[in-house]
Amino acid sequence: MSRPKITVVGAGNVGGTVAQRLVETNCYDVVLVDIIEGVPQGKALDLAQAGPICGYDCSVVGTNGYGETDQSSVVVITSGVPRKPGMSRDELLATNTNIVKGVVREVARRSPDAVLLLVANPLDAMAHVAYRVSGFPKQRVVGMAGVLDSARFRSFIAGELGVSAAEVQAMVLGGHGDTMVPLLRYTTVAGRPVSEWLPKERLEALVQRTRDGGAEIVSLLKSGSAYYAPSAAVMTMVEAILKDQKRVLPCAAYCEGEYGLSGVFVGVPARLGRGGVEQIIEYELTPGERAALETSAAAVRELSAAVDRMLAS
């Protein structure tokens, strides 16, 4: 039986760890693509040699081109540059727009039925780039951020209470980082609202730590950023799609009327299955939550408008 093929573009820490998680399931053949000669080939060879030890025998190929990516079921796009000292937000946006545009043109032509899973930042804007450039239906372009943010929030709550993270359920909407909108009323520990477990000021501190989650890791590492948790979040989404699990996960999805938002990628609860984003699930929001989500969407709209100008020029 042939395995679904998954292409991972970008063989850095996130992409390399995504490839490792995928091959260790022994369910998928993986193509690892990067522009740096030798890096994807070396990582693929290393992963192949781990197979006899870890008990997998799926194919893993490293390449600097896109020929081997034909007919991929999912394409995970991690490529892009982090913001460097002295680099403006506009410069970062322009650089990563060009990178993602080039990647999407290549993979969409070779895998016209794939689901595109964006990890590159700024995430919602890069999902917009992929949507515009690929011409794919909105269901087959999705961004990873909310799964990571909600996992961070769950881990902080579990640590605070001394309970298993499996007992904590959380939903996070909006953008990745400062504009994140945690739905505290829908956050539960062993089925009970988290507000019954923790005082308001402790909850607010955990929310802020979640918003700063990526920056906290960057400050500790000194160079580089998080990759274990981001790659685990990607893995969760890939499995939900290819195993048609119908899981409801917070994802950057294209809204057309949901939550009163239209024409914008933003973090919302989405049911993921074989077709990608099969449905956006609408929670009842308080006026404050709705306002926060609209603020988050407005920030994305500004970036998306800038992207549209770049793509038109």
Closest CA to 295 of 181, 184, 219: 181
Of 5, 152, 176, 271, catalytic: 176
**Exposed e or buried b for every residue in 183-214, given b needs 16+ CB within 10 A?**
bbebbbbeeeebeebbeeeebeebbeebbebb
Phi, psi dihedral angles at 63 (to 5 degrees): -155, 155
Q: Which stretches of 162-284 are DSSP H helices? A: 200-211, 213-221, 228-242
Separation between Cα atoms, residue 44 and residue 38, nearest integer Å: 10
Classified as helix, coil or strand, 264 is: strand
Q: Output the six-digit token pair for 165.
A: 């993270």
DSSP 8-state class, residue 138: G
* Residue 128 bears catalytic tag: no
CA distances from 93 to 124, 137, 191 (A): 11, 23, 41
Strands 5-9 and 172-174: unpaired
Give catalytic residues, as residue numbers: 176
